[in-house]
Amino acid sequence: MVRAAGLVSGVVSIVVACSISVAAQWPKHPDPSVPRDAQGRVRMDAPTPRTPDGKPDFSGVWQRANSGPPRGGGRGGREGQGGGAAGRGAAAAGQGGAGQAAAPAGQAAAGQAAAGQGGAAAAGGGRGRGQAAAPEAQDGVGNTQAGFGPVAGGVQLEPPIEGFPYDPSGPPVATFFEAGANIPGGLPYTPWAAELRKQRLALNARDNPDAMCMPMGFLQFHQQPQPRLIIQTPKMIVIEYEANYGIRHIYLDGRALPPQGEPQPWWYGYSVGRWDGDTLVVETNNLRGAEDGPYDGWLDVNGSPYSREAKFTERIRRLNYGHLQIDMTVEDPKAYTKPFTVRVDQRIVPEGELIEFICNENQQFRRKIKID
């Protein structure tokens, strides 16, 4: 297990290093619609852009951003220990994940240096895009970028992105490794889900779809350090994720959500959206779940599962020009004893472009480098 984890860590470092852009694919193309001040600086706090029909316009390239200190007791370590000293102890032991203590500026925490040993944990490599450094959270659990600092060899797994102020009145903030990192007591697993997550962690999350070039779950896609492009039309929103070339369609044409269990399950399910004032409410069901295979039904890197019975409801708002906020509610009676809601924040990348991401090796990659 240790040897395999070490191999994964080394390979991930190579993959991430190769994914870092040394030069842009497209020459810089100025966008006159980007709001700027008299000095030419982008006004991230400018009013929300709107479409011709008056709806908030979500179009653009977005990257995940930290949204402040934690709520709750500090769960989310690689092994899912409780908060406080236990969570920090797990981080110090090198068990990667959101429970790691925040590193001093310019240095890597000891736990972060070993975090890349967890299968998919570092498969999402970011590229530097010139954003200001994100402020450190009070506790590494609350920092949604924890685990992506410099690792062995000096490879930065995620570009520093300016964060947003923490909103104590909002839902708990999800982290990349652990969806329930900031939920007091953690996610409300059923016995089935708790046992499956335990099995996944015992394998160092090596079957996470991110590491397998397979389609990921929405929350993991939202949390990916690689950017995503949103294309908005009156009848459909298309989200193109750079990571694993994920493409998602959200229908706005008035169609109803299909009955649960009726259509063929899809990796990205069936998504319909409606406007509630300036909030887009997106409902998704009929997804492939953990019952379908080892790479299906992953809510986060640590392996929190969802089943075929899952329904996701996202409330998406563009608070101003630079800030997109997503509150996701998960309802899945097979995996969780009650619904729960977590938050993800994203920051606009003005005049940004996606970089081509081809990931066709699938599960053969690990065999070729003799991990399996």
pLDDT digits (tens, 9 = 90+) for 210-246: 988 889 999 999 999 899 999 999 999 999 999 988 9
Query: Any bridge partners for residue 311, and if so which?
Result: 331
C-beta of residue 328 within 8 angstroms of C-beta of residue 46: no
Strand spans (E) along the chain = 60-65, 228-232, 236-241, 246-251, 270-276, 279-285, 311-320, 323-331, 340-348
3-state DSSP assignment of residue 344: strand
Angle value at C-alpha 298, between 73 and 235, nearest 5 degrees: 105
For β-strands 246-251 and 270-276, DSSP reports them as parallel
Per-residue pLDDT of the chain (372 residues; tens, 9 = 90+): 333 444 333 333 334 444 444 445 778 888 999 999 999 999 999 999 999 999 999 999 999 998 855 444 444 333 333 333 233 223 333 333 333 333 333 333 333 333 333 344 334 443 434 333 333 333 334 444 445 555 445 556 566 788 999 999 999 999 989 999 999 999 999 999 999 999 999 999 989 999 888 899 999 999 998 999 999 999 999 999 999 889 999 999 999 999 999 999 999 999 999 999 999 999 999 999 999 999 999 999 999 999 999 999 999 999 999 999 999 999 999 999 999 999 999 999 998 899 888 876 555 666 666 655
For β-strands 340-348 and 236-241, DSSP reports them as unpaired
Question: 191, exposed or middle or buried, with CB in 10 Å at 0-12, 13-18, 19+?
Answer: exposed
- Cα first-last separation, the chain: 10
How far, CA to CA in Å, does 275 sit from each of 50, 60, 271, 327, 344?
13, 19, 14, 15, 19
Q: How many Cα neighbours within 13 Å face the side chain of 362?
A: 1
Taking the C-alpha atoms of residue 154 and residue 175, their distance in angstroms, rounded to an integer, is 23
Dihedral pair phi/psi, residue 87, rounded to 5°:
-65, -40
